[in-house]
Amino acid sequence: MPEVIVAKTAGFCFGVNRAVDMVYSEMNKPGRVYTYGPIVHNEAVTGELEAKGVCVIGSIGEAQAAAGEGRTVVIRAHGVSEDVENALRDSGYNVVDATCPFVRKIHDIVRRENAEGRRVIIVGDPDHPEVRGIAGRGDSGNVVIRGTEDFENLKLPLDKTYSLVAQTTFNYEKLTEIIAYLTNLKYDIRCFNTVCNATQERQREAEEIAAKVDAMIVIGSRNSSNTRKLYEICSKKCNVTLLIQTKDDLNSADFHSVNSVGITAGASTPKHIIEEVQTYVRS
């Protein structure tokens, strides 16, 4: 039986736990409950909510079609743009905002920096719902970059002022490299480290564990940005790194031939799934 090291930071973060609790709270009230997009990026969680009658709305068009008296829509932890939030309210829904407070803080920074005449650079995945929501909280001139190459392609003038924020689940080490690069270019740029503390600690702990085990397991949805980043970090430190959603994805994997196995999990992974994987590896 191998030694199993489970990351202390594995599983639900504060923002995800808060959002899921808010959905369950609304389910105890009269009326139909919807979420705008999956409440979190985890099929086990969204599947359980769907089985209890919670429906996922994927667009404003769907929201308007489903609107009705006494209906509630919960804005997911990733947040939404101002236009989307206003459209939901205008459609007649009782809107419950479950946006993670750390994401909401970025919304506030973007509005404030734009009000001061600064163009905001958002570091993250432009297709991620959190990033789309952040971009939709400020001026149309704000831009999203994945890295330094994207920034170079923008060819932004040096005589303007800028501010930089990042997706809460962005790779912290990569963000520091981007900030150092931009600072060396002599831009007038304010840089805000908006990668949440839980993400930084989760990434740091995962890297430490991966560096000292024979095999590393990362649990979470492949649609989850923070889970994919954990996998990337662990893969650089441990040659045998697996990305799974549940213990069933391990199939007949035999861990008896290794001396140590590390386990971490994305911020949207429920505790019971982590425990099931841990039990499987130890069996």
Please report, for the domain that includes residue 125, its CATH number.
3.40.1010.20
Let me know: does 68 contact 119? Beta carbons within 8 Å: no
Q: In this structure, are 237 and 264 located in the same domain?
A: yes
How many domains does one find in the chain? 3
Residue 253 above 80 pLDDT?
A: no
The answer on 79 and 43 residing in a single domain is yes
Hey, which residues are catalytic here? 130
Residues contacting residue 238 through CB under 8 Å, at least 6 positions apart: 210, 211, 213, 214, 215, 216, 262
Helix residue spans in 193-241 (DSSP H): 197-210, 225-237
Q: What was the pLDDT predicted at 186?
A: 85
If DSSP states are collapsed to H, E and C, what string results for 103-114? HHHHHHHHHHHH
pLDDT at 163 over 80: yes
58/24 same-domain check: yes
Boundary (domain end) residue, out of 62, 82, 99: 99
Better-scored residue on pLDDT, 256 or 136: 136
Instruction: Return the top range by mean pLDDT from 97-106, 180-189, 249-258.
Output: 97-106
Reported confidence tier of residue 195, pLDDT bands at 50, 70, 90: very high
Residues 113 and 63 in one domain: no
> Is residue 274 located within the same domain as residue 243?
yes
Q: 251: pLDDT confidence band, cut at 50, 70 and 90?
A: confident
* 187 and 112 part of one domain: yes
What's the pLDDT score for residue 224? 87
Instruction: Please indicate, yes or no, whether residues 95 and 71 belong to a single structural domain of this protein.
Output: yes
Q: Which residue has the tokens 């139909």?
A: 32
Q: Is the pLDDT at 257 greater than 90, yes or no?
A: no
pLDDT at 1: 78
**Are residues 128 and 188 part of one domain?**
yes
| End-of-domain residue from the set 99, 133, 153 | 99
Contacts for 154 with CB less than 8 Å, ≥ 6 apart: 143, 145
* Ramachandran category for residue 117: left, alpha or beta (phi over 0 → left; psi -120 to 50 → alpha): left
The answer on 188 and 132 residing in a single domain is yes
Strand partners, 230: none
Res. 252: pLDDT tops 80: no
pLDDT confidence of residue 40: 84
Relative orientation angle of helices 197-210 and 172-184, to the nearest 10 degrees: 110
Dihedral (Cα; 93, 99, 104, 110), 10-degree rounding: -70
Last residue of a domain, one of 37, 69, 99: 99
Q: Within this chain, do residues 255 and 241 fall inside the same structural domain, yes or no?
A: yes
Write the pLDDT tens digit of every residue in 29-70.
Answer: 999 999 999 998 888 888 999 999 999 999 999 999 999 889
pLDDT confidence of residue 254: 75
Q: Which of 141, 88, 72 is nearest to 110 (CA)?
A: 141
Query: The domain that contains 22 carries what CATH number?
Result: 3.40.50.11270
Long-range contacts, stretch 124-131, CB < 8 angstroms, 24+ apart: 124/166, 124/167, 124/170, 125/167, 125/225, 128/78, 128/167, 128/225, 129/37, 129/76, 129/78, 129/79, 129/80, 130/78, 130/79, 130/103, 130/167, 130/168, 130/169, 130/225, 131/167
DSSP SS3 for 54: coil
Shared domain for 124 and 191, answered yes or no, is yes
Q: Which domain holds residue 90?
A: 14-99
86 and 130 part of one domain: no
